[in-house]
């Protein structure tokens, strides 16, 4: 029998066909050639062969579209998770987006001082704003919070030990953990207290090792939780448990207590705040999260936080604290390796400027606006969306529970509303897949019997494209 693969057209023959060539119009020839080769290879390996050359052109066109489509795309977040890490965390305020576009379009004064006509400092675009808004003596911005923490620990305790409560040895996400970041900084972990109870006295006992026995690295009686022979503590690290809660028989030393202890023992305190909340977002359920200005006023040597979570700006790491310590961080060679780029600084600067007027910040910064939007307003938007969806969607407005996300406000759920879709001819999984395949893609909540579009995280102006995406997915 003749192998049917012998009848396949050659790559060269397909490339000479006008329909196939038209499928690659507007793209480099290398893209077209690769798509043709992949189409032929698929058939050779067992796929069904197109019946005629026009179908070959369609197959090639699909491959070109897939190969040239950007993988980083804007999408509609209909999950109800406000700070959604997988979807890029905080959407930028309009002012920040404009600042990025203007900065990206040409040259800029990133490290150039126009007044003096010579090289300047890139940190000046944000450090004065951070000092003004937080009350800190000085500030530094790097590319993310983990980098800010590693920089602070390396500056404070490289070659020494860092005292951390066992209840704060958390995983921050992506599989990365505080002990690993601490080790990467060049410091040695000194565990203090227990998981549920760590008293100020536990830290004091560990710091007592900085006495006469420091040169030997040993004490006559090793403090609980300290490995004999480990280096003496050079710093204290306190970590805000932003992604889980400890309840019941618990106790912990406050930041103020640790700062005072560190002052007496001349040991710097580093505080990992995490979320970067700048002001009270409004709802009563969100009142317990500490803010960056509160932490900065504690007197800690360094407070580190994310710029792209509750602060509502771009991915960045903010380090504020005492002037002398921040100056040491600036001189640390690691600061060069983790420095923020011009687009980050432009977006962060524009975001921080909005905080000069707290009411303006709550209106203009999407994260704050979404957190504060009343549930009845979200429900009204859900009803408006349901009213324009096709009958095949079998749309129904339902109450939902939205989440803050991004490792903030653990256990806090926000009253919200959404539109439930129960089409007859599509399973929830199939409909969700079709929604993700639209332009723009829609990411929704999939349950056993329906797809839910939570309107709390649908931005203003996205309702119309969301409705079109639903109609197209059902079609």
Is this model's pTM higher than 0.85 or not?
Answer: yes
Q: Which helix (H) or strand (E) holds 52?
A: none
Percent of the chain with pLDDT over 70: 91
Q: Nearest Cα to 330, choosing from 136, 134, 124?
A: 124
CA distance 196 to 251: 7
At 41, list the tokens: 């290879």
Domain(s) of CATH 3.90.1150.110: residues in the chain: 76-85+369-474
At 127, list the tokens: 């450090």
Tell me the per-residue pLDDT of 351-368, one tens digit each, with 9 for 90 and over. 999 999 999 999 999 999
Q: Which is higher by pLDDT, 42 or 444?
A: 444
On the question of a cis peptide bond just before residue 228, with omega within 30 degrees of 0, the verdict is no
- Contact (CB, 8 A) for 369 and 362: yes
| Segment 256-282 mean pLDDT | 93
94-364 has which fold? 3.40.640
Tell me the per-residue pLDDT of 202-258, one tens digit each, with 9 for 90 and over. 999 999 876 543 333 333 334 444 545 567 899 999 999 876 677 778 788 999 999
Model confidence band, residue 284 (pLDDT cutoffs 50, 70, 90): low
**Total length of the chain:** 475
What pLDDT, on the 0 to 100 scale, is given for residue 241? 83
For the ranges 5-9, 376-380, 399-403, 413-417, which has the lowest average pLDDT? 5-9
Q: Which residues, 6+ apart, have CB-to-CB distance to 29 below 8 Å?
A: none
285 in helix, strand or coil? helix
Pairing of strands 317-321, 302-306: antiparallel
Tell me the per-residue pLDDT of 53-64, one tens digit each, with 9 for 90 and over. 778 899 899 999
- Contact (CB, 8 A) for 374 and 452: no
CATH number, span 76-85+369-474: 3.90.1150.110
- Contact (CB, 8 A) for 431 and 423: yes
Domain(s) of CATH 3.40.640.10: residues in the chain: 94-364
| Segment 35-58 mean pLDDT | 80
CA distance 248 to 251: 9
What pLDDT, on the 0 to 100 scale, is given for residue 280? 86
């Amino acid at each position: 029998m003749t192998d049917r693969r012998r009848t396949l057209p050659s790559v060269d023959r397909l490339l000479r066909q006008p329909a196939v060539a038209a499928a690659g119009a507007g793209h480099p020839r290398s893209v077209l050639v690769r798509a043709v080769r992949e189409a032929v290879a698929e058939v050779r390996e067992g796929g069904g062969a197109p019946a005629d050359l026009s179908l070959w052109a369609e197959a090639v066109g699909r491959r070109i579209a897939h190969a040239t489509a950007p993988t980083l795309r804007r999408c509609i977040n209909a999950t109800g998770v406000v700070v959604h890490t997988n979807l890029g965390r905080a959407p930028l305020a309009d002012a920040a987006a404009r600042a990025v576009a203007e900065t990206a379009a040409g040259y800029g004064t990133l490290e150039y001082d126009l007044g003096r006509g010579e090289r300047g400092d890139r940190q000046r675009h944000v450090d004065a704003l951070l000092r003004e808004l937080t009350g800190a003596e000085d500030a530094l911005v790097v590319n993310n919070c983990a980098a800010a923490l590693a920089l602070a620990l390396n500056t404070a305790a490289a070659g020494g030990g860092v005292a951390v409560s066992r209840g704060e040895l958390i995983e921050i996400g992506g599989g990365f953990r505080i002990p690993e970041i601490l080790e990467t900084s060049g410091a040695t972990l000194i565990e203090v207290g227990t998981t549920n109870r760590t008293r100020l006295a536990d830290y004091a006992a560990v710091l007592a090792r900085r006495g006469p026995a420091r040169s030997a690295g040993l004490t006559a009686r090793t403090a609980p939780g300290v490995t004999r022979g480990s280096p003496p503590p050079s710093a204290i690290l306190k970590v805000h448990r932003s992604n889980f809660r400890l309840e019941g028989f618990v106790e912990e030393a406050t930041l103020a207590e640790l700062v005072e202890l560190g002052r007496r023992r001349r040991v710097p305190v580093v505080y990992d705040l995490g979320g970067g909340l700048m002001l009270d977002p409004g709802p009563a359920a969100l009142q317990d999260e500490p803010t960056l200005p509160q932490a900065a006023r504690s007197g800690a040597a360094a407070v580190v936080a994310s710029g792209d979570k509750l602060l509502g700006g771009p991915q960045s790491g903010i380090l504020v604290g005492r002037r002398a310590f921040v100056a040491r961080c600036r001189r640390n060679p690691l600061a060069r390796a983790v420095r923020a780029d011009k687009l980050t600084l432009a977006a962060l600067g524009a975001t921080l400027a909005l905080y000069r007027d707290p009411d303006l910040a709550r209106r203009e910064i999407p994260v704050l606006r979404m957190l504060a939007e009343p549930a009845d307003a979200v429900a009204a938007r859900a009803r408006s969306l349901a009213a324009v969806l096709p009958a095949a969607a079998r749309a129904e407005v339902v109450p939902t529970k939205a989440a803050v996300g991004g490792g903030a406000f653990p256990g806090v759920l926000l009253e919200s509303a959404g539109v439930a879709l129960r089409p007859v001819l599509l399973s929830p999984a199939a409909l969700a897949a079709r929604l993700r395949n639209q332009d723009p893609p829609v990411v929704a909540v999939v349950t056993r019997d329906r797809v839910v579009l939570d309107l709390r995280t649908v931005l203003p102006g996205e309702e119309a494209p969301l409705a079109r995406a639903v109609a197209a997915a059902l079609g």
